[in-house]
């Protein structure tokens, strides 16, 4: 109860701050001290790969340290909750994948209201696609669909876990292409890869597949992104394959706690848009098979809502349940 009152008050302050043209000095001079960037997963995961280069770049751009703090647990909910309860002063921010905000709340009772977070900037999307073990036979997307139709239930697909973005990607594929593929959830993508390489499962859709595609052990069938992958210019996107609006993006962003003054979000967003044009951050992200998708805060709000609605619809259609 007390927290809710506090949040309401914080929200009120933010609104007041917005309506008065003279921005308080505290907000205008942000950041005056180090900024804590909470990543709601253990070190070394995908969120780190995208979050840490950004922390580095932002530290240099603002002349204040952006310190990454990994606070993992409960599928990202613990770290996200910590930010939701933090002071909305711009010194505690969240660097998160979409999952904690636009997927999990549809499946579990989340200890935060995802729609109350203040978007500051998109940090990048992982770019990969469906891959299939070379021992199976099909080399292209069409051949795979054909194979699945002729052998219903024979293909298995490994995901990083229930209700992860890559699980949703499979459900979307099954729905759009009308095929039957068995979903096998793993504890993370490295675990799934363990079974993909010896052909215990036949398909995956994760960035850790990319090296094995290059080594010839897997065939990359498509790209789940609006544009093709720079390393695989011959592999078509889902849209090009005749399945528009079938992508489930694996997107990352920096979000402020509820009640973060909009000035701070805009200031951070402007710097992030500027940095997105530099070779440094582009190169770091390309190295981990991620691409930048720069957006203004307004565009982010619209994107967030659309993503959340799509996921809710997909979760319902595929009747994915966690409890």
Partner 1 sequence: MALDGLFANLALGLSVAATMQNLLWCLAGAVIGTAVGVLPGVGPVATMALLLPVTYVLPADGALIMLAGIYYGAQYGGSTTAILVNLPGESSSVVTTLDGYQMARQGRAGPALAIAAIGSFFAGCVATVVIAAAAPPLTRLAQQFAPADYFSLMVLGLVFSIVLARGSIIKAFGMVFLGMLLGLVGTDVNTGNLRFTFGISDLFDGLGFVPLAMGIFGIAEIIANLTNPERRDLVSSKVENLWPSREDFRRSRGPILRGTVLGGLLGLLPGGGAVLGSFSAYTLEKKISKTPEKFGTGMIEGVAGPEAANNAAAQTSFIPMLTLGIPSNAVMAMMIGGMMIHGIIPGPQVMEQRPGLFWGMIVSMWFGNLMLIILNLPMIGLWVRLLLVPYRLLAIAVLFFCCIGVYSLNNSANEVLFIGAFGLLGYLLMKLDCEPAPLLLGFLLGPMMEVYMRRAMLLSRGDPWVFVQRPLSLTFLVLAGILVLLVVLPFIRKSRETAFQE
- Which of 137, 152, 178, 211 is in the footprint of partner 1 by CB under 8 A? 211
Q: Does 275 bind partner 1 (CB under 8 A)?
A: no
Between 262 and 282, whose beta carbon lies closer to partner 1?
A: 282
Counting residues that bind partner 1 (by CB under 8 A) gives: 54
Q: Does 218 bind partner 1 (CB under 8 A)?
A: no
Between 162 and 301, whose beta carbon lies closer to partner 1?
A: 162
Q: Does 142 bind partner 1 (CB under 8 A)?
A: no
Q: Does 197 bind partner 1 (CB under 8 A)?
A: yes
To the nearest whole angstrom, how small is the minimum distance from the Cβ of residue 249 to partner 1?
A: 20
Is the alpha carbon torsion for 16, 17, 23, 25 positive or negative? positive
Q: Does 215 bind partner 1 (CB under 8 A)?
A: yes
Q: Which of residues 70-109 bind partner 1 (CB under 8 A)?
A: 70-75, 77-78, 81, 107
Between 34 and 111, whose beta carbon lies closer to partner 1?
A: 111
User: CB under 8 Å to 97, separation ≥6 — which residues?
Assistant: 46, 47, 76, 165, 250, 251, 252
Half-sphere exposure (CA, 13 Å, Cβ side) for 30?
Answer: 24
- Which of 23, 61, 142, 207 is in the footprint of partner 1 by CB under 8 A? 207
Segment contacting partner 1 by CB under 8 A, of 57-65, 186-194, 242-250, 266-274: 186-194
Tokens 């292209």 map to which residue? 140
Between 30 and 186, whose beta carbon lies closer to partner 1?
A: 186
- Which of 287, 309, 313, 316 is in the footprint of partner 1 by CB under 8 A? 287
Q: Which of residues 39-58 bind partner 1 (CB under 8 A)?
A: 42-45, 48-49, 52, 56
User: CB under 8 Å to 63, separation ≥6 — which residues?
Assistant: none
| Binding positions for partner 1, rule: CB under 8 A | 42-45, 48-49, 52, 56, 68-75, 77-78, 81, 107, 111, 153, 156, 161-163, 182, 184-187, 190, 193-195, 197-198, 200-201, 207-208, 210-212, 214-215, 217, 284, 287-289, 321-323
């Amino acid at each position: 109860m007390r927290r809710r009152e506090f949040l309401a008050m914080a929200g009120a302050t933010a609104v007041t701050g917005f309506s008065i043209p003279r921005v308080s000095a505290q907000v205008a001079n942000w950041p005056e001290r180090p900024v804590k960037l909470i990543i709601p997963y253990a070190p070394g995961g995908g969120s780190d790969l995208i979050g840490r280069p950004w922390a580095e770049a932002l530290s240099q751009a603002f002349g204040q340290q952006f310190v990454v703090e990994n606070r993992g647990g409960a599928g990202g909910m613990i770290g996200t909750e910590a930010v939701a309860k933090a002071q909305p002063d711009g010194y505690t921010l969240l660097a998160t994948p979409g999952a904690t905000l636009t997927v999990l709340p549809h499946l579990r009772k989340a200890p935060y209201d995802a729609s109350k977070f203040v978007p500051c900037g998109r940090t990048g999307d992982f770019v990969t696609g469906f891959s299939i073990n070379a021992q199976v036979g099909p080399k292209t997307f069409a051949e795979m669909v054909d194979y699945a139709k002729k052998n219903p239930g024979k293909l298995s697909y490994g995901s990083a876990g229930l209700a992860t973005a890559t699980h949703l990607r499979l459900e979307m594929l099954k729905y759009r292409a009308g095929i039957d593929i068995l979903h096998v959830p793993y504890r993370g993508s490295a675990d799934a890869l363990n079974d993909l390489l010896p052909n215990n499962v036949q398909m995956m859709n994760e960035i850790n597949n990319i090296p094995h595609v290059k080594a010839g052990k897997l065939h990359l069938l498509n790209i789940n992104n609006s544009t093709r992958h720079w390393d695989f210019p011959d592999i078509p996107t889902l849209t090009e394959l005749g399945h528009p609006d079938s992508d489930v993006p694996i997107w990352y962003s920096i979000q402020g706690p509820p009640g973060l003054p909009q000035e701070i979000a805009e200031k951070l967003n402007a710097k992030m848009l500027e940095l997105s044009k530099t070779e440094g951050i582009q190169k770091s992200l390309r190295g981990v098979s991620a691409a930048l998708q720069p957006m203004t805060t307004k565009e982010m709000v619209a994107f967030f809502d659309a993503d959340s609605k799509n996921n809710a619809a997909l979760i319902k259609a595929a009747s994915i349940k966690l409890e």
